[in-house]
Amino acid sequence: MKLITLVKKNKSSFFFFVLGSFITSISQLAISIIFAIAIGMMQNPSIEMIKSRAWFVIAGALIVGLSNFIEHRFPISFKRSINLELKAKAFAKIINKSFEQFNLKSKENYISNLINDIQLFQEDFFNSLQVIMQFIFQTVLLMIILFFIDVKFAFILFGIEIILFFVSKLFKTSTEKLKQTVSESNENFSIEVSNTLNGAEIIKLNSVEQIFLDKTSTSINAVEATKRKYNLLLGFQKNFFKLLSIFLNLIVFIYCMIKLFNGADLTLMVIIIQSAMFIITPSEFIFSSINTYKASKKIYEKLTDENEDKNKDNTLPKQGIKTKFDFNNKIKVQNLTFSYENKIVLDNVSFDIIKGKKYLIRGVSGAGKTTLLNILSKTIENYTGDIFIDETNMKEIQTAAFNEKIGFIFQNVFLFEDTIKNNIELYRNYSEKEFNEAVKIAGLYNFISEKEKGAETMLAENGKDLSGGQRQRISIARAIIKNSQILFADEASSSLEAELGAQIEKAILDLDSTLIAISHRYYEGISEKYDFVIEVKNKTVEVFPASEYAFNKEDLYDDSSNKGEKHD
Protein backbone atom coordinates (compact mmCIF):
# COMPACT_ATOMS: atom_id res chain seq x y z
CA MET A 1 0.00 0.00 0.00
CA LYS A 2 1.36 3.41 -0.99
CA LEU A 3 1.78 6.02 1.71
CA ILE A 4 -0.82 8.30 0.09
CA THR A 5 -3.33 5.42 0.19
CA LEU A 6 -2.65 4.87 3.88
CA VAL A 7 -3.18 8.59 4.54
CA LYS A 8 -6.47 8.53 2.61
CA LYS A 9 -7.58 5.53 4.64
CA ASN A 10 -7.17 7.66 7.76
CA LYS A 11 -8.66 10.76 6.19
CA SER A 12 -10.71 11.82 9.24
CA SER A 13 -7.68 11.90 11.56
CA PHE A 14 -5.62 13.43 8.73
CA PHE A 15 -8.22 16.21 8.48
CA PHE A 16 -7.53 17.15 12.11
CA PHE A 17 -3.79 16.90 11.45
CA VAL A 18 -4.20 19.39 8.58
CA LEU A 19 -6.52 21.54 10.69
CA GLY A 20 -3.91 21.68 13.43
CA SER A 21 -1.32 22.90 10.91
CA PHE A 22 -3.79 25.49 9.58
CA ILE A 23 -4.53 26.77 13.10
CA THR A 24 -0.79 27.09 13.74
CA SER A 25 -0.50 29.17 10.57
CA ILE A 26 -3.38 31.40 11.68
CA SER A 27 -1.57 31.80 14.99
CA GLN A 28 1.62 32.90 13.21
CA LEU A 29 -0.39 35.31 11.07
CA ALA A 30 -2.05 36.74 14.18
CA ILE A 31 1.36 37.28 15.80
CA SER A 32 2.56 39.08 12.68
CA ILE A 33 -0.47 41.40 12.56
CA ILE A 34 -0.38 42.11 16.33
CA PHE A 35 3.28 43.03 16.09
CA ALA A 36 2.64 45.24 13.05
CA ILE A 37 -0.25 47.04 14.74
CA ALA A 38 1.79 47.58 17.90
CA ILE A 39 4.70 49.08 15.93
CA GLY A 40 2.31 51.07 13.72
CA MET A 41 0.93 52.87 16.75
CA MET A 42 4.31 54.60 17.11
CA GLN A 43 4.01 56.44 13.77
CA ASN A 44 1.20 58.82 14.83
CA PRO A 45 0.28 57.86 18.40
CA SER A 46 -3.04 58.99 19.83
CA ILE A 47 -5.51 57.76 22.47
CA GLU A 48 -8.18 57.15 19.83
CA MET A 49 -5.81 55.03 17.68
CA ILE A 50 -4.66 53.00 20.67
CA LYS A 51 -8.28 52.29 21.68
CA SER A 52 -9.35 51.38 18.14
CA ARG A 53 -6.47 48.96 17.66
CA ALA A 54 -6.46 47.46 21.15
CA TRP A 55 -9.32 45.10 20.24
CA PHE A 56 -7.26 43.68 17.36
CA VAL A 57 -4.39 43.00 19.73
CA ILE A 58 -6.65 41.30 22.31
CA ALA A 59 -8.38 39.15 19.63
CA GLY A 60 -5.04 38.16 18.17
CA ALA A 61 -3.70 37.19 21.60
CA LEU A 62 -6.74 34.98 22.20
CA ILE A 63 -6.27 33.28 18.82
CA VAL A 64 -2.63 32.58 19.61
CA GLY A 65 -3.49 31.13 23.03
CA LEU A 66 -6.25 28.91 21.61
CA SER A 67 -4.09 27.69 18.74
CA ASN A 68 -1.29 26.66 21.11
CA PHE A 69 -3.82 24.56 23.03
CA ILE A 70 -5.22 22.93 19.89
CA GLU A 71 -2.20 22.46 17.63
CA HIS A 72 -0.51 19.90 19.90
CA ARG A 73 -3.66 17.77 20.33
CA PHE A 74 -5.05 17.55 16.80
CA PRO A 75 -2.15 15.59 15.24
CA ILE A 76 -2.06 12.86 17.92
CA SER A 77 -4.78 10.61 16.46
CA PHE A 78 -3.28 10.72 12.94
CA LYS A 79 0.22 9.89 14.20
CA ARG A 80 -1.08 6.99 16.29
CA SER A 81 -3.14 5.54 13.39
CA ILE A 82 -0.28 5.73 10.89
CA ASN A 83 2.24 4.26 13.35
CA LEU A 84 -0.03 1.32 14.22
CA GLU A 85 -0.80 0.50 10.58
CA LEU A 86 2.83 0.88 9.53
CA LYS A 87 3.97 -1.59 12.19
CA ALA A 88 1.22 -4.03 11.18
CA LYS A 89 2.06 -3.76 7.47
CA ALA A 90 5.81 -4.04 8.04
CA PHE A 91 5.28 -7.21 10.09
CA ALA A 92 2.77 -8.59 7.56
CA LYS A 93 5.28 -8.06 4.75
CA ILE A 94 7.82 -10.19 6.62
CA ILE A 95 5.44 -12.91 7.81
CA ASN A 96 3.82 -13.33 4.35
CA LYS A 97 7.09 -13.93 2.52
CA SER A 98 7.65 -17.28 0.90
CA PHE A 99 10.33 -19.52 2.43
CA GLU A 100 12.87 -18.50 -0.21
CA GLN A 101 12.06 -14.80 0.04
CA PHE A 102 12.32 -14.91 3.83
CA ASN A 103 15.75 -16.52 3.67
CA LEU A 104 17.15 -13.72 1.50
CA LYS A 105 17.75 -11.83 4.75
CA SER A 106 18.59 -12.77 8.32
CA LYS A 107 16.14 -12.59 11.21
CA GLU A 108 18.26 -9.82 12.74
CA ASN A 109 17.78 -7.85 9.53
CA TYR A 110 14.00 -8.06 9.89
CA ILE A 111 14.20 -7.03 13.55
CA SER A 112 16.20 -3.96 12.50
CA ASN A 113 13.48 -3.12 9.95
CA LEU A 114 10.77 -3.38 12.60
CA ILE A 115 12.65 -1.26 15.14
CA ASN A 116 15.25 1.04 13.58
CA ASP A 117 13.53 1.80 10.27
CA ILE A 118 10.14 2.44 11.87
CA GLN A 119 11.84 4.78 14.32
CA LEU A 120 13.56 6.58 11.43
CA PHE A 121 10.20 7.01 9.71
CA GLN A 122 8.47 8.27 12.84
CA GLU A 123 11.22 10.78 13.60
CA ASP A 124 11.18 12.35 10.16
CA PHE A 125 7.80 11.85 8.50
CA PHE A 126 5.43 13.60 10.90
CA ASN A 127 7.75 16.48 11.78
CA SER A 128 8.65 17.22 8.17
CA LEU A 129 5.03 16.87 6.98
CA GLN A 130 3.83 19.23 9.71
CA VAL A 131 6.53 21.79 8.88
CA ILE A 132 5.69 21.63 5.15
CA MET A 133 1.95 22.02 5.69
CA GLN A 134 2.36 24.91 8.11
CA PHE A 135 4.69 26.62 5.66
CA ILE A 136 2.22 26.17 2.78
CA PHE A 137 -0.74 27.57 4.77
CA GLN A 138 1.38 30.37 6.18
CA THR A 139 2.76 31.32 2.77
CA VAL A 140 -0.66 31.29 1.09
CA LEU A 141 -2.25 33.46 3.81
CA LEU A 142 0.62 35.94 3.88
CA MET A 143 0.84 36.12 0.07
CA ILE A 144 -2.89 37.01 -0.07
CA ILE A 145 -2.28 39.88 2.37
CA LEU A 146 0.77 41.02 0.40
CA PHE A 147 -1.20 41.09 -2.86
CA PHE A 148 -3.55 43.63 -1.25
CA ILE A 149 -0.69 45.71 0.15
CA ASP A 150 1.95 45.59 -2.64
CA VAL A 151 1.23 43.46 -5.75
CA LYS A 152 4.66 43.99 -7.31
CA PHE A 153 6.49 42.94 -4.15
CA ALA A 154 4.19 39.87 -3.77
CA PHE A 155 5.07 38.65 -7.29
CA ILE A 156 8.81 39.15 -6.66
CA LEU A 157 8.61 37.24 -3.36
CA PHE A 158 6.67 34.41 -5.03
CA GLY A 159 9.35 34.19 -7.74
CA ILE A 160 12.09 34.00 -5.10
CA GLU A 161 10.31 31.06 -3.41
CA ILE A 162 10.09 29.19 -6.72
CA ILE A 163 13.82 29.66 -7.27
CA LEU A 164 14.62 28.47 -3.73
CA PHE A 165 12.46 25.38 -4.28
CA PHE A 166 14.44 24.34 -7.36
CA VAL A 167 17.72 25.01 -5.55
CA SER A 168 16.56 22.64 -2.78
CA LYS A 169 16.11 19.84 -5.34
CA LEU A 170 19.90 19.80 -5.76
CA PHE A 171 20.09 18.17 -2.31
CA LYS A 172 17.23 15.68 -2.84
CA THR A 173 19.17 12.68 -4.20
CA SER A 174 22.00 12.98 -1.67
CA THR A 175 19.55 13.20 1.24
CA GLU A 176 17.61 10.10 0.13
CA LYS A 177 20.79 8.09 -0.47
CA LEU A 178 22.29 8.98 2.91
CA LYS A 179 18.99 8.19 4.65
CA GLN A 180 19.01 4.77 2.99
CA THR A 181 22.65 4.29 4.02
CA VAL A 182 21.77 5.07 7.64
CA SER A 183 19.01 2.43 7.49
CA GLU A 184 21.37 -0.18 6.01
CA SER A 185 24.13 0.56 8.53
CA ASN A 186 21.62 0.10 11.36
CA GLU A 187 20.62 -3.27 9.88
CA ASN A 188 24.23 -4.45 9.56
CA PHE A 189 25.05 -3.36 13.09
CA SER A 190 21.99 -5.19 14.50
CA ILE A 191 23.04 -8.37 12.69
CA GLU A 192 26.63 -8.12 13.96
CA VAL A 193 25.59 -7.52 17.57
CA SER A 194 23.07 -10.37 17.43
CA ASN A 195 25.71 -12.77 16.05
CA THR A 196 28.15 -11.72 18.77
CA LEU A 197 25.57 -12.26 21.54
CA ASN A 198 24.60 -15.65 20.05
CA GLY A 199 28.25 -16.67 20.28
CA ALA A 200 28.84 -15.12 23.72
CA GLU A 201 29.46 -18.51 25.35
CA ILE A 202 32.21 -19.41 22.86
CA ILE A 203 33.72 -15.91 23.16
CA LYS A 204 33.92 -16.17 26.96
CA LEU A 205 35.24 -19.75 26.99
CA ASN A 206 38.05 -18.73 24.63
CA SER A 207 38.79 -15.42 26.40
CA VAL A 208 38.48 -13.31 23.25
CA GLU A 209 36.11 -10.68 24.71
CA GLN A 210 38.45 -7.77 23.97
CA ILE A 211 38.68 -8.69 20.28
CA PHE A 212 34.91 -8.58 19.94
CA LEU A 213 34.67 -5.41 22.04
CA ASP A 214 37.10 -3.72 19.65
CA LYS A 215 35.21 -5.07 16.65
CA THR A 216 31.88 -3.80 18.01
CA SER A 217 33.45 -0.43 18.84
CA THR A 218 34.64 -0.13 15.24
CA SER A 219 31.14 -0.97 14.00
CA ILE A 220 29.58 1.63 16.33
CA ASN A 221 31.98 4.26 14.99
CA ALA A 222 31.06 3.30 11.42
CA VAL A 223 27.31 3.63 12.16
CA GLU A 224 27.81 6.98 13.88
CA ALA A 225 29.99 8.18 11.01
CA THR A 226 27.15 7.44 8.58
CA LYS A 227 24.67 9.28 10.78
CA ARG A 228 27.13 12.17 11.08
CA LYS A 229 27.37 12.46 7.30
CA TYR A 230 23.58 12.57 7.06
CA ASN A 231 23.31 15.20 9.79
CA LEU A 232 26.12 17.24 8.22
CA LEU A 233 24.24 17.28 4.91
CA LEU A 234 21.05 18.43 6.66
CA GLY A 235 23.07 21.03 8.58
CA PHE A 236 24.70 22.30 5.40
CA GLN A 237 21.29 22.66 3.74
CA LYS A 238 19.92 24.61 6.70
CA ASN A 239 22.96 26.89 6.95
CA PHE A 240 22.98 27.52 3.19
CA PHE A 241 19.33 28.59 3.18
CA LYS A 242 19.82 30.50 6.45
CA LEU A 243 22.52 32.71 4.92
CA LEU A 244 20.39 33.15 1.81
CA SER A 245 17.34 34.12 3.87
CA ILE A 246 19.36 36.69 5.90
CA PHE A 247 20.54 38.30 2.66
CA LEU A 248 17.01 38.38 1.19
CA ASN A 249 15.46 39.71 4.40
CA LEU A 250 18.04 42.48 4.43
CA ILE A 251 16.99 43.48 0.91
CA VAL A 252 13.32 43.48 2.00
CA PHE A 253 14.19 45.69 4.98
CA ILE A 254 15.99 48.20 2.77
CA TYR A 255 13.03 48.17 0.34
CA CYS A 256 10.56 48.94 3.18
CA MET A 257 12.80 51.69 4.60
CA ILE A 258 12.84 53.40 1.22
CA LYS A 259 9.05 53.13 1.05
CA LEU A 260 8.76 54.63 4.55
CA PHE A 261 10.89 57.62 3.59
CA ASN A 262 8.45 58.11 0.72
CA GLY A 263 5.50 58.28 3.14
CA ALA A 264 4.30 54.68 3.35
CA ASP A 265 2.27 53.51 6.35
CA LEU A 266 4.48 52.02 9.09
CA THR A 267 1.98 49.27 9.98
CA LEU A 268 1.85 48.05 6.36
CA MET A 269 5.64 48.14 6.03
CA VAL A 270 6.01 46.09 9.24
CA ILE A 271 3.47 43.57 7.85
CA ILE A 272 5.58 43.32 4.65
CA ILE A 273 8.78 42.79 6.65
CA GLN A 274 7.08 40.26 8.92
CA SER A 275 5.51 38.42 5.96
CA ALA A 276 8.83 38.25 4.14
CA MET A 277 10.50 36.89 7.26
CA PHE A 278 7.82 34.23 7.73
CA ILE A 279 8.08 33.21 4.06
CA ILE A 280 11.83 33.52 3.41
CA THR A 281 13.36 32.66 6.80
CA PRO A 282 11.75 29.16 7.05
CA SER A 283 13.58 28.29 3.83
CA GLU A 284 16.57 27.46 6.02
CA PHE A 285 14.69 24.34 7.17
CA ILE A 286 11.58 24.00 4.96
CA PHE A 287 13.45 22.78 1.90
CA SER A 288 15.56 20.35 3.92
CA SER A 289 12.25 19.20 5.46
CA ILE A 290 10.91 18.50 1.96
CA ASN A 291 13.95 16.31 1.25
CA THR A 292 13.59 14.64 4.66
CA TYR A 293 9.90 13.95 3.94
CA LYS A 294 10.80 12.32 0.60
CA ALA A 295 13.52 10.26 2.28
CA SER A 296 11.01 9.05 4.90
CA LYS A 297 8.70 7.95 2.06
CA LYS A 298 11.54 5.78 0.77
CA ILE A 299 11.86 4.19 4.21
CA TYR A 300 8.10 3.54 4.21
CA GLU A 301 8.35 1.84 0.81
CA LYS A 302 11.22 -0.29 2.07
CA LEU A 303 9.13 -1.37 5.06
CA THR A 304 5.91 -2.14 3.19
CA ASP A 305 6.72 -2.88 -0.48
CA GLU A 306 5.94 -6.59 -0.88
CA ASN A 307 7.58 -6.67 -4.32
CA GLU A 308 10.95 -5.47 -2.98
CA ASP A 309 12.60 -8.91 -2.88
CA LYS A 310 11.09 -9.94 -6.21
CA ASN A 311 12.52 -6.83 -7.85
CA LYS A 312 15.95 -7.48 -6.32
CA ASP A 313 16.10 -11.19 -7.20
CA ASN A 314 14.49 -12.17 -10.47
CA THR A 315 15.49 -15.81 -9.90
CA LEU A 316 12.66 -16.28 -7.41
CA PRO A 317 9.94 -18.49 -8.92
CA LYS A 318 6.47 -17.18 -9.71
CA GLN A 319 3.69 -18.19 -7.34
CA GLY A 320 1.49 -21.07 -8.47
CA ILE A 321 -2.09 -20.60 -9.63
CA LYS A 322 -3.82 -23.72 -8.25
CA THR A 323 -5.46 -22.99 -4.89
CA LYS A 324 -6.44 -26.59 -4.09
CA PHE A 325 -4.14 -29.55 -3.58
CA ASP A 326 -4.68 -33.24 -2.84
CA PHE A 327 -2.15 -36.07 -2.97
CA ASN A 328 -3.86 -39.19 -4.33
CA ASN A 329 -1.30 -41.34 -6.11
CA LYS A 330 2.39 -40.47 -6.43
CA ILE A 331 5.03 -37.75 -6.69
CA LYS A 332 7.05 -38.07 -9.88
CA VAL A 333 10.46 -36.35 -10.01
CA GLN A 334 11.79 -35.95 -13.56
CA ASN A 335 15.25 -34.72 -14.59
CA LEU A 336 15.66 -32.62 -11.45
CA THR A 337 18.80 -30.45 -11.34
CA PHE A 338 19.70 -27.93 -8.64
CA SER A 339 22.74 -25.71 -8.21
CA TYR A 340 23.80 -23.54 -5.29
CA GLU A 341 26.40 -20.80 -5.72
CA ASN A 342 27.39 -22.20 -9.14
CA LYS A 343 27.92 -25.66 -7.67
CA ILE A 344 25.72 -28.53 -8.88
CA VAL A 345 24.14 -30.28 -5.88
CA LEU A 346 21.69 -32.58 -7.72
CA ASP A 347 22.17 -33.50 -11.37
CA ASN A 348 19.36 -34.84 -13.60
CA VAL A 349 17.66 -36.83 -10.84
CA SER A 350 14.49 -38.90 -11.45
CA PHE A 351 12.46 -41.12 -9.08
CA ASP A 352 8.92 -41.68 -7.74
CA ILE A 353 7.33 -41.40 -4.29
CA ILE A 354 4.21 -43.52 -3.76
CA LYS A 355 1.39 -42.31 -1.50
CA GLY A 356 1.32 -43.92 1.94
CA LYS A 357 4.89 -45.21 1.76
CA LYS A 358 7.76 -44.27 4.10
CA TYR A 359 10.97 -42.92 2.54
CA LEU A 360 14.29 -42.46 4.32
CA ILE A 361 16.84 -40.13 2.71
CA ARG A 362 20.44 -41.21 3.39
CA GLY A 363 23.80 -39.92 2.26
CA VAL A 364 27.14 -38.62 3.46
CA SER A 365 27.57 -35.11 4.83
CA GLY A 366 27.08 -32.50 2.09
CA ALA A 367 25.58 -34.97 -0.39
CA GLY A 368 22.38 -32.93 -0.80
CA LYS A 369 19.89 -34.63 1.54
CA THR A 370 18.45 -31.45 3.06
CA THR A 371 18.38 -29.81 -0.35
CA LEU A 372 16.34 -32.69 -1.75
CA LEU A 373 13.95 -32.55 1.23
CA ASN A 374 13.54 -28.78 0.80
CA ILE A 375 12.79 -29.19 -2.91
CA LEU A 376 10.21 -31.93 -2.29
CA SER A 377 8.58 -29.80 0.43
CA LYS A 378 8.35 -26.79 -1.93
CA THR A 379 10.62 -24.60 0.21
CA ILE A 380 13.12 -24.44 -2.66
CA GLU A 381 11.68 -23.89 -6.15
CA ASN A 382 14.50 -22.47 -8.27
CA TYR A 383 15.41 -25.86 -9.73
CA THR A 384 15.24 -27.17 -13.28
CA GLY A 385 13.29 -30.25 -14.29
CA ASP A 386 9.80 -31.19 -13.11
CA ILE A 387 8.07 -32.54 -10.04
CA PHE A 388 4.53 -33.80 -10.63
CA ILE A 389 2.10 -34.52 -7.80
CA ASP A 390 -0.29 -36.90 -9.54
CA GLU A 391 -0.77 -35.00 -12.84
CA THR A 392 -0.06 -31.49 -11.53
CA ASN A 393 3.31 -29.76 -11.75
CA MET A 394 4.25 -28.78 -8.20
CA LYS A 395 5.22 -25.27 -9.28
CA GLU A 396 1.61 -24.66 -10.36
CA ILE A 397 0.33 -25.25 -6.82
CA GLN A 398 0.14 -22.23 -4.54
CA THR A 399 2.50 -22.56 -1.57
CA ALA A 400 -0.29 -21.84 0.93
CA ALA A 401 -2.48 -24.60 -0.55
CA PHE A 402 0.44 -27.05 -0.51
CA ASN A 403 1.39 -26.23 3.08
CA GLU A 404 -2.17 -26.92 4.24
CA LYS A 405 -1.73 -30.59 3.40
CA ILE A 406 1.83 -31.22 4.62
CA GLY A 407 3.56 -31.32 7.99
CA PHE A 408 7.14 -30.75 9.20
CA ILE A 409 9.08 -32.26 12.06
CA PHE A 410 12.50 -30.68 12.55
CA GLN A 411 15.43 -31.46 14.80
CA ASN A 412 14.98 -28.10 16.55
CA VAL A 413 11.31 -27.56 17.39
CA PHE A 414 10.22 -23.97 17.96
CA LEU A 415 7.59 -23.51 20.65
CA PHE A 416 5.67 -20.34 21.46
CA GLU A 417 5.42 -18.92 24.96
CA ASP A 418 1.79 -20.01 25.13
CA THR A 419 -0.38 -22.97 26.11
CA ILE A 420 0.33 -26.56 25.06
CA LYS A 421 -2.98 -26.49 23.16
CA ASN A 422 -2.08 -23.38 21.13
CA ASN A 423 1.37 -24.80 20.37
CA ILE A 424 -0.23 -27.94 18.92
CA GLU A 425 -3.13 -26.26 17.11
CA LEU A 426 -0.99 -23.26 16.09
CA TYR A 427 -3.90 -20.94 16.92
CA ARG A 428 -6.39 -22.70 14.64
CA ASN A 429 -9.75 -24.01 15.76
CA TYR A 430 -9.95 -27.81 15.96
CA SER A 431 -12.58 -29.89 17.68
CA GLU A 432 -11.87 -31.41 21.08
CA LYS A 433 -12.04 -34.86 19.45
CA GLU A 434 -9.38 -33.92 16.86
CA PHE A 435 -7.14 -32.47 19.56
CA ASN A 436 -7.41 -35.45 21.88
CA GLU A 437 -6.77 -37.91 19.03
CA ALA A 438 -3.60 -36.01 17.99
CA VAL A 439 -2.39 -35.93 21.59
CA LYS A 440 -2.92 -39.69 22.08
CA ILE A 441 -1.25 -40.71 18.82
CA ALA A 442 1.72 -38.40 19.52
CA GLY A 443 2.16 -39.95 22.98
CA LEU A 444 1.36 -36.75 24.91
CA TYR A 445 -1.78 -37.91 26.72
CA ASN A 446 -0.12 -38.87 30.02
CA PHE A 447 2.15 -35.81 29.97
CA ILE A 448 -0.81 -33.43 29.56
CA SER A 449 -3.01 -35.34 32.03
CA GLU A 450 -0.41 -34.89 34.76
CA LYS A 451 -0.53 -31.09 34.39
CA GLU A 452 -2.85 -29.21 36.73
CA LYS A 453 -4.21 -27.09 33.87
CA GLY A 454 -3.90 -29.85 31.27
CA ALA A 455 -3.63 -28.57 27.69
CA GLU A 456 -4.03 -24.98 28.95
CA THR A 457 -0.67 -25.19 30.74
CA MET A 458 1.60 -22.29 29.71
CA LEU A 459 5.02 -23.17 28.30
CA ALA A 460 8.17 -21.19 29.03
CA GLU A 461 9.97 -19.26 26.29
CA ASN A 462 10.58 -21.66 23.36
CA GLY A 463 9.52 -24.56 25.61
CA LYS A 464 12.59 -24.41 27.85
CA ASP A 465 10.67 -26.30 30.53
CA LEU A 466 10.14 -29.37 28.28
CA SER A 467 12.40 -32.32 27.52
CA GLY A 468 13.63 -33.01 23.98
CA GLY A 469 11.17 -35.88 23.60
CA GLN A 470 8.21 -33.79 24.75
CA ARG A 471 9.14 -31.05 22.30
CA GLN A 472 9.30 -33.53 19.41
CA ARG A 473 5.97 -35.10 20.36
CA ILE A 474 4.33 -31.66 20.23
CA SER A 475 5.81 -31.30 16.74
CA ILE A 476 4.35 -34.71 15.80
CA ALA A 477 0.96 -33.70 17.24
CA ARG A 478 1.01 -30.59 15.02
CA ALA A 479 1.39 -32.78 11.94
CA ILE A 480 -1.34 -35.21 13.09
CA ILE A 481 -3.95 -32.56 13.90
CA LYS A 482 -3.43 -31.00 10.44
CA ASN A 483 -4.18 -34.42 8.93
CA SER A 484 -1.01 -34.00 6.86
CA GLN A 485 -1.00 -36.02 3.66
CA ILE A 486 2.79 -35.75 3.40
CA LEU A 487 5.09 -35.53 6.42
CA PHE A 488 8.65 -34.20 6.13
CA ALA A 489 11.03 -35.02 8.99
CA ASP A 490 14.58 -33.62 9.14
CA GLU A 491 16.74 -35.33 11.77
CA ALA A 492 13.74 -35.46 14.10
CA SER A 493 15.48 -37.78 16.60
CA SER A 494 19.18 -36.97 16.14
CA SER A 495 19.46 -34.68 19.20
CA LEU A 496 17.82 -37.23 21.53
CA GLU A 497 19.43 -40.07 23.45
CA ALA A 498 19.17 -43.44 21.67
CA GLU A 499 16.18 -44.97 23.50
CA LEU A 500 14.06 -41.83 23.28
CA GLY A 501 15.17 -41.29 19.68
CA ALA A 502 13.94 -44.78 18.80
CA GLN A 503 10.54 -44.02 20.39
CA ILE A 504 10.18 -40.82 18.37
CA GLU A 505 11.27 -42.55 15.15
CA LYS A 506 8.71 -45.32 15.74
CA ALA A 507 5.95 -42.78 16.49
CA ILE A 508 6.63 -41.01 13.20
CA LEU A 509 6.70 -44.28 11.23
CA ASP A 510 3.38 -45.36 12.75
CA LEU A 511 1.56 -42.35 11.28
CA ASP A 512 -0.67 -42.85 8.22
CA SER A 513 0.93 -39.99 6.25
CA THR A 514 3.38 -40.45 3.41
CA LEU A 515 6.72 -39.94 5.14
CA ILE A 516 9.88 -38.42 3.67
CA ALA A 517 12.56 -38.28 6.35
CA ILE A 518 16.25 -37.62 6.85
CA SER A 519 17.91 -39.56 9.65
CA HIS A 520 21.56 -40.44 10.04
CA ARG A 521 20.79 -42.76 12.95
CA TYR A 522 20.10 -46.47 12.73
CA TYR A 523 17.52 -47.92 15.14
CA GLU A 524 17.54 -51.71 15.03
CA GLY A 525 14.10 -53.12 14.24
CA ILE A 526 12.73 -49.62 13.53
CA SER A 527 14.78 -48.21 10.65
CA GLU A 528 13.85 -51.33 8.67
CA LYS A 529 10.18 -50.25 8.83
CA TYR A 530 10.80 -47.67 6.13
CA ASP A 531 9.52 -48.87 2.77
CA PHE A 532 12.28 -47.29 0.71
CA VAL A 533 15.67 -45.66 1.16
CA ILE A 534 16.61 -42.75 -1.12
CA GLU A 535 20.40 -42.66 -1.24
CA VAL A 536 21.93 -39.33 -2.34
CA LYS A 537 25.42 -39.85 -3.67
CA ASN A 538 27.65 -38.05 -6.19
CA LYS A 539 24.86 -35.61 -7.20
CA THR A 540 22.54 -38.49 -8.11
CA VAL A 541 19.77 -40.41 -6.37
CA GLU A 542 19.12 -44.15 -6.15
CA VAL A 543 16.03 -45.67 -4.53
CA PHE A 544 16.26 -49.03 -2.72
CA PRO A 545 13.59 -51.12 -0.99
CA ALA A 546 14.46 -50.82 2.70
CA SER A 547 14.48 -54.62 3.00
CA GLU A 548 17.35 -54.74 0.49
CA TYR A 549 19.29 -51.75 1.84
CA ALA A 550 22.41 -52.44 3.88
CA PHE A 551 22.02 -50.21 6.96
CA ASN A 552 25.32 -49.42 8.63
CA LYS A 553 24.73 -50.13 12.29
CA GLU A 554 27.69 -47.94 13.31
CA ASP A 555 26.07 -44.79 11.86
CA LEU A 556 28.46 -44.46 8.93
CA TYR A 557 26.33 -41.61 7.61
CA ASP A 558 26.61 -39.52 10.79
CA ASP A 559 26.34 -35.96 9.49
CA SER A 560 25.48 -34.32 12.81
CA SER A 561 28.37 -31.90 12.28
CA ASN A 562 26.54 -30.53 9.26
CA LYS A 563 23.26 -29.64 10.94
CA GLY A 564 23.59 -25.95 10.35
CA GLU A 565 24.29 -25.99 6.63
CA LYS A 566 21.65 -24.43 4.46
CA HIS A 567 22.22 -26.69 1.48
CA ASP A 568 23.29 -30.10 2.75
> What DSSP line would sit under 122-143, residue for residue?
HHHHHHHHHHHHHHHHHHHHHH
> Which of the residue ranges 50-64, 85-99, 469-483 would you say has the lowest mean pLDDT?
50-64
Helix (H, G, I), strand (E, B) or coil at 345: strand
**pLDDT band per the 50, 70, 90 thresholds, residue 484:** confident
**pLDDT band per the 50, 70, 90 thresholds, residue 332:** very high
> Which of the residue ranges 56-70, 273-287, 481-495, 543-557 would you say has the lowest mean pLDDT?
56-70
148: pLDDT strictly greater than 80: yes
318: pLDDT strictly greater than 60: no
**DSSP state letter for 456:** G
* pLDDT (0 to 100) of residue 560: 39
**Kind and range of the H or E run holding 478:** helix 468-481
**Rounded to whole angstroms, how far apart are CA atoms 176 and 509?**
57
- 93 burial type by CB count under 10 A (0-12 exposed, 13-18 middle, 19+ buried): buried
**Rounded to whole angstroms, how far apart are CA atoms 304 and 315?**
21
Find the angle CA(274)-CA(276)-CA(277) to the nearest 5 degrees: 65
* pLDDT (0 to 100) of residue 42: 63
For 525-535, the pLDDT digits (tens) are 888 888 999 99
For 265-286, the pLDDT digits (tens) are 888 888 888 788 777 766 656 7
66: pLDDT strictly greater than 50: yes
**pLDDT band per the 50, 70, 90 thresholds, residue 114:** confident
**pLDDT band per the 50, 70, 90 thresholds, residue 474:** confident
Query: What does each C-alpha distance from 561 to 165, 413, 501 come to in angstroms?
Result: 62, 18, 18
Q: What are phi and psi of 173, to 5 degrees?
A: -60, -45
Cβ neighbour number for residue 8 with a 10 Å cutoff: 11
Helix (H, G, I), strand (E, B) or coil at 258: helix
Mean pLDDT for 74-100 is: 80
Sign of the C-alpha dihedral computed for residues 217, 218, 219 and 222 taken in this order? positive
177: pLDDT strictly greater than 80: yes
401: pLDDT strictly greater than 60: yes
407: pLDDT strictly greater than 50: yes
Of 340, 290, 293, the C-alpha closest to 315 is 340
* pLDDT (0 to 100) of residue 205: 63
**Rounded to whole angstroms, how far apart are CA atoms 113 and 103?**
15
**pLDDT band per the 50, 70, 90 thresholds, residue 359:** very high
On whether the CB atoms of residues 275 and 146 are closer than 8 A, the answer is yes
User: What letters, b where the CB count within 10 A reaches 16 and e where it falls short, cover 528-547?
Assistant: eebbbbbbbeebebeeeebe
80: pLDDT strictly greater than 80: yes
Mean pLDDT for 530-546 is: 89
* pLDDT (0 to 100) of residue 564: 34
The four Cα atoms 95, 97, 103, 105 give a dihedral, to 10 degrees, of -70
**Rounded to whole angstroms, how far apart are CA atoms 328 and 326?**
6
**pLDDT band per the 50, 70, 90 thresholds, residue 201:** low
**pLDDT band per the 50, 70, 90 thresholds, residue 472:** confident
- 198 burial type by CB count under 10 A (0-12 exposed, 13-18 middle, 19+ buried): exposed
| Mean of pLDDT over the chain | 79
Q: Report pTM.
A: 0.59
On whether the CB atoms of residues 463 and 488 are closer than 8 A, the answer is no
Mean pLDDT for 532-558 is: 76
* pLDDT (0 to 100) of residue 50: 59
Q: What are phi and psi of 460, to 5 degrees?
A: -70, 175
Of 245, 342, 343, 228, the C-alpha closest to 285 is 245
On whether the CB atoms of residues 174 and 234 are closer than 8 A, the answer is no
514: pLDDT strictly greater than 80: yes
310: pLDDT strictly greater than 70: no
Domains of the chain and CATH, by start = 1-304 (1.20.1560.10), 330-548 (3.40.50.300)
